Amino acid sequence: MRLQRPLVMGVLNITPDSFSDGGKFLSADAAVQHAENLIAEGADILDVGGESTRPGSSPVSASDEISRVIPVIESIAARFDIPISIDTTKGEVAEAALNAGAHIINDISGLRFDERIAAIAAEYGAGLVLMHSRGNFETMHSQTPVHDIIREVKESFSRMLKTSAACRVASEQIILDVGIGFSKTQSQNLELLAKLDKLKAEFPDHPFLVGASRKSFLGKILGGGGPDERLFGSLAAAAIAVWNGADIIRVHDVKETVRSLKVIEAIKDQL
């Protein structure tokens, strides 16, 4: 599947502890208002999540996750005509979200935590984002680094695609995510962005999603500062990712990213 232009996925965290905006949109009214703002700024997709995956976060039950996200998804689906993604690793949450109006499942575990997600995606014909990560919920940010991250991601993608095919997920439903910031060193995050085009060449049938927005590896490059001080680094990472073939960029700062990508696409059109 090929997209005509890079799409911007706006992040909507309905959590008390996400690394960048935890607690800001816990109420359904605040979350829906933020969704409206993201749409006005140019978001093509909204990614709704009810469980933080930042380092040190605690897992939540499926019932708690459902209670956070379903009212928001239902309200967004009723008010706006925009694709909605559910950011979850639990089949129960994914199915509830699809029934509430979501269109895409964004699984950061790449089917490792709950293979039922693939079967649910197949049943509903939903988009399925499969991200590379390693370890379980508690250890995914503290894994011993692999020697060759490009090879590791390639092999992981191949396993995910094999599992998806066995569950009858159509190839055109699947989006791949290299998992920036998950189980990677500083240099490996940078290497994946720099060599994204080589990975895409290995999996030409699938769009690639990149989510580098406000992540800590950018803060290290910029000399410190919190997530809110990483806008310029986030835009630079998005620009490089799109130049190297990313099809979807997952971001917190939608307006700034949309404007930056317009310039990048105008330049790429001259190649």
Question: What pLDDT does 143 receive?
Answer: 85
At residue 65, what is the residue type? Answer: E
Structure tokens at 154: 């390639």
Question: What pLDDT does 24 receive?
Answer: 61
Question: What pLDDT does 28 receive?
Answer: 85
Residue 106: strand pairing partners? 87, 129
Structure tokens at 18: 């996400």
Taking the mean position of all CA atoms in its chain, how far away is CA 69? 16
Choose, from 90, 184, 200, 215, the residue flagged as catalytic: 215
**What is the model's pTM?**
0.94
How far apart are the C-alpha atoms of 70 and 21, rounded to whole Å?
A: 19
Query: Average model confidence (pLDDT) for the chain?
Result: 93
Question: What pLDDT does 57 receive?
Answer: 65
pLDDT in tens, 82-110: 999 999 999 999 999 999 999 999 999 99
| Model confidence at 181: pLDDT above 90 | yes
Class at the top of the CATH hierarchy for domain 7-268: alpha beta
At residue 72, what is the residue type? Answer: V
How far apart are the C-alpha atoms of 180 and 177, rounded to whole Å?
A: 8
| Model confidence at 222: pLDDT above 80 | yes
pLDDT category, 140, cuts 50, 70, 90? confident
Question: What pLDDT does 19 receive?
Answer: 47
Choose, from 90, 112, 200, 250, the residue flagged as catalytic: 250
pLDDT in tens, 17-70: 554 554 566 688 889 999 999 999 999 999 999 998 767 667 889 999 999 999
Q: Are 151 and 158 in contact (CB under 8 A)?
A: no
Q: Are 38 and 25 in contact (CB under 8 A)?
A: no
For this structure, is 250 an active site residue? yes
How far apart are the C-alpha atoms of 261 and 239, rounded to whole Å?
A: 7
For this structure, is 215 an active site residue? yes
Rounded percentage of the chain residues whose pLDDT exceeds 70: 94
